[in-house]
A and B are shown apart, each in its own frame.
Chain A
Amino acid sequence: GNSVTQMEGPVTLSEEAFLTINCTYTATGYPSLFWYVQYPGEGLQLLLKATKADDKGSNKGFEATYRKETTSFHLEKGSVQVSDSAVYFCALSDWGTGNQFYFGTGTSLTVIP
C-alpha cells in the first residue's frame, strides 16, 4: 500500500540554521510527492512538489528532491527564519491507486531568534 513516514518532532532551531526534515515513502505505483505547511490555526498550504524521479521541487528557499532509489523526499532549507515556524507534512499522491493523498504525521518546527 501507500504510506509516508516523517521524522519525529518537534524540531527547534536557531535562526539561520540549516533545516532537514526526513521523509520516506512506500507506494505501489508512481507517486507524485509533496510538502505541505500548516501555520497555527490554518489549513494546509502547498510548499513544493515533484512529480517524477530526480525532480527537485523548490519554493521560498525550501528544496526537496524525489529520490526513487531511496524512496525519499527530504525537505531542506539553508537558513531558516522565525517565520518558518510551522508544522510540515510530507504527502504522496498515487494516481494509479485512488483519488487521495497520503500524509505523514507532520513535523513541528520552531525557529528561535
Chain B
Amino acid sequence: DAGVTQSPTHLIKTRGQHVTLRCSPISGHKSVSWYQQVLGQGPQFIFQYYEKEERGRGNFPDRFSARQFPNYSSELNVNALLLGDSALYLCASSDNIRDRGLYGYTFGSGTRLTVV
C-alpha cells in the first residue's frame, strides 16, 4: 500500500507568487491535515479536513487556504508568498478525526518550499 504522497517534493517560488501543494492520503483515510515545519522547529498545524469539510484551522493568515476533494486528496494553497513561508509542508492522514487522537497521524515526506 502506498503511504501518504505529496507533490512536488521541492519547489522554489518568488515573493508575491502563489503556490499549490498536493497530498494523497493513504487509501481509505478520510482525514487530511497540513502542517508547516520551519527549519529547526516542530511542525505547526495549519488545517484539518475530514469528509471534504474543514474541521480545524491553525493560527495562519488568510493567505493560506486548503480544500479536500471527493477522493479525499487535498490541496494547500498559499497566496502572496513571503520569505517567511519557506518551510517543509507536511501532509498527514488518518482513518477519521477520532482515531488520530489514539493512533496518531501518518505523515508524508513533505514538500520543501523555498521563497526567494
Which A residues are closer than 8 A to B by beta carbons? 4, 32, 34, 36, 41-46, 49, 51, 89, 91, 93-95, 98-106
Decide yes or no: A42 and B42 within 8 Å by CB, A98-B56, A99-B56 being known contacts: no
Give the size of the chain B interface in residues (CB under 8 angstroms).
29
State which of B35, B48, B102, B107 has its C-beta within 8 Å of the C-beta of A45. Answer: B107
A-B CB contact pairs (8 Å), 14 listed: A36-B104, A44-B43, A44-B105, A46-B103, A46-B104, A46-B106, A49-B102, A93-B104, A95-B98, A95-B101, A100-B56, A101-B105, A103-B42, A106-B41
Q: How far is the CA of A51 from the CA of B55 in the complex (A)?
A: 22
Q: With A42-B109, A43-B90, A99-B97 known to touch, is A106 a contact of B104 (CB < 8 Å)?
A: no
Given contacts A43-B110, A100-B45, contact A49 B104 (CB under 8 A): yes
Chain A: minimal CB distance from B48 (Å): 5
B33, B41, B101: which contacts A105 (Cβ < 8 A)? Answer: B41
Task: Give Cα distance in the complex from A102 to B43, angstroms.
Answer: 8
Closest 8 CB pairs of A and B: A103-B42, A99-B56, A100-B45, A43-B107, A95-B101, A44-B107, A43-B109, A46-B104
Known: A32-B101, A51-B102, A93-B101. A99 touches B43 (CB 8 A): no
Q: A49-B104, A100-B33, A104-B42 are in contact. List 8 more A-B contacts (CB 8 A).
A: A43-B107, A43-B110, A46-B105, A46-B106, A93-B100, A99-B48, A99-B56, A103-B44
